[in-house]
Amino acid sequence: MLDIAAELVEWCGQDREFAVATLVTVDGSAPRQPGAALAVDRDGTAIGSVSGGCVEGAVYELCREALASGEPALARFGPGTDDPFAAQLTCGGTVELLVTPVTAGARPPVAAALAEAAAGRPVALAYAVDGPPGVLGRPLLVHPDGSRLGTLGGGPALDRASAALARALPGAGRRAARIVVDPRESGCPLPVTLFVECGVPAPRLLVFGAIDFAAALTRVGAFLGYRVTVCDARPVFATAARFPDADEVVVDWPHRYLRSTEVDGRTAICVLTHDPKFDLPLLEHALTLPVAYVGAMGSRRTHAERRQRLLAAGVDERLLARLRSPIGLDLGARTPEETALSIGAEIVAARHGGTGRPLSRTTAPIHKDGPAADACSAFDTPGPPSPSRVA
């Protein structure tokens, strides 16, 4: 439910009772990933989505039933059934949903988790989806420091063991995970399977070069859910008025700012200045960082010259292989907006393991399976050394 935290915070503030259906398992092809949620209040108002439309009506009714009964439930939907009127997924996959009523008794941990997630702070919200009687669907909020609110209903040992496992997930960039708590740790007679939703701060998009292409890219980055920073050493160009969609505009030498700011394995760095005095020291450092994406604007000739300068400066071929230049996918882009779209598309492909090819020309699964890979590369290029500290 944390993917619709902003809306649900408002509902909690109005003391509205509601039920949430959260996608906890996806097997095969499905439109949404674990953590997607649909919420319904007592008046029948609905927000969110769990299937892109295939089973929304049936899930809506499950939420209404959970509100009426006050009891959580698990529901499964697959690709086919003997009943032609039954809800089913047309894309061929199977999904499992946990439906939980959020009434007065369950509100405190849920409301606190929603507030943290809406504010962009890391938090984990755990529910048991399998285990001994009495533990299904009860919420446990876990902060990164291990403090917690609520209970899973299986005793203090289960809460402690679950919190120890869940607390690290937001810091690792995981938005959702299933974990199993061993009976030896939980004190329960059976293993307990948890579904853990994580509120994860937005990934960063660092745009260097306060030009018209950067203005368009900040809009695309904000639309994709990034926290966008624009940096340029020229104060006349680097102004908040020119970049209203950026979260921050920094006047500083790009390489100096990059050395002073925080990055992680989800960060995307876009160098749009195509000016050697800015680009070269910036890229020398950027290519050593464990970030998801480093791209640089310029023609093929500019790229060739930039590459030779970087080699001469001591950047080795292994690190240069990480550089996306010319930046973006081949969309035939001309305008700043089209170019920003091509850059955003390449960042998404790198983030999720896409090829960048038309889906009509591929036969592989549309949605990539496996753990969340916010920092993965779609192009099998080698990564940088893994420093113990990023500065």
Q: What is the pLDDT of residues 74-94, one digit of tens each?
A: 998 876 554 433 445 555 578
- Average of pLDDT values for 326-332? 94
Specify the CATH number of the domain 204-361. Answer: 3.40.50.720
What pTM was computed for the model?
0.79
List, in sequence order, every beta strand (DSSP E) within the chain: 18-27, 37-41, 46-48, 73-77, 94-102, 123-130, 140-142, 148-150, 176-181, 192-199, 204-208, 227-232, 248-251, 268-271, 293-296, 323-324
388 falls in which pLDDT band (50, 70, 90)? very low
Cα–Cα nearest to 163, from 152, 174, 177, 172: 152
Per DSSP, the residues of 151-203 read --SS-HHHHHHHHHHHTTTGGGT-SEEEEEE-HHHH--SS-EEEEEEEE-PPP
Where are the chain's structural domains? 18-102, 104-201, 204-361
Q: Smallest Cα–Cα separation from 276: which of 231, 310, 311?
A: 310
State pLDDT tens for residues 229-279: 999 999 999 999 999 999 999 999 999 999 999 999 999 999 998 788 899
